[in-house]
Amino acid sequence: MTARPDPAASAATDTAAAETGRRVVRTMRRALRWSLPEILFWLVAFASIFLLPGQHLILTEIAILAVFALSIDLILGYAGIVSLGHAAMYGAGAYAAGLYAIHVTGEPLTGLVVGAAAGAVIAFATSFLLLRGGDLTRLMVTLGVAAVLFEIANKAYRITGGADGLQGIWMDPILGRFDFDLAGHTGYVYCLIVLFLLFLLARLVVNSPFGISLKAIRENPLRASAVGIPVNPRLVAIYTLAGAYAGVAGALFTHTQQFISLDALAFQKSADGLLVLIIGGTGYLYGGMIGALAYKVIQDVIANITPQYWLFWIGLLMVVFVLWGRDKPQRIFATLAARLRHRREGRE
Partner 1 sequence: MSELLAVEDLRAGYGQGETLHGISLTLREGESLALLGRNGVGKTTTLNSIMGLTRHLGGRIILAGQDITRRTPEARAWAGLGWVPQERGVFRSLTVEENITAVAQPGRWTLETLYDLFPRLRERRGNYGNQLSGGEQQMLAVARALALNPRVLLLDEPTEGLAPIIVQELLAVIRRIVRDEGVSAIIVEQHARKILGLTDRAVVLDRGAVVWSGESDTLAGDAEALGRHLGVH
Helix pair angle (287-305, 267-280), 10° resolution? 110
Rounded-to-integer distance, Cα 265 and Cα 263, Å: 5
Question: Min. distance of Cβ 102 from partner 1 in angstroms?
Answer: 45
Residues 169-228 interacting with partner 1 (rule: CB under 8 A): 209, 212-213, 215-216, 218-220, 222-228
> How many residues lie near partner 1 (CB under 8 A)?
31
Minimum CB separation of residue 344 from partner 1 in Å reads 17
What Rg, from alpha-carbon coordinates, does the chain have? 22
Among 16, 51, 52, 159, binds partner 1 (CB under 8 A): 16
Q: Binding string, 229-258, against partner 1, x = CB under 8 A?
A: xxx---------------------------
Q: Where are the alpha helices (DSSP H) in 156-230?
A: 157-160, 185-207, 209-219, 221-226
Indicate the DSSP class of residue 166. B
Residue 169 in 3-state DSSP? coil
Considering the complex, state which of residue 28 and residue 314 has its C-beta at the smaller distance from partner 1: 28
Task: Give every CB contact of residue 53 below 8 A, 6+ residues apart in sequence.
Answer: 183, 185
In angstroms, rounded to a whole number, what is the distance separating the alpha carbons of residues 184 and 179? 10
Q: Least Å distance between CB 201 and partner 1?
A: 20
Contact yes or no for 112/96 (Cβ under 8 A) = no
Contact track, partner 1, 280-319, x by CB under 8 A: ----------------------------------------
Contact positions vs partner 1 (CB under 8 A): 2, 4-5, 9, 12-13, 16-17, 19-20, 23-24, 27, 209, 212-213, 215-216, 218-220, 222-231
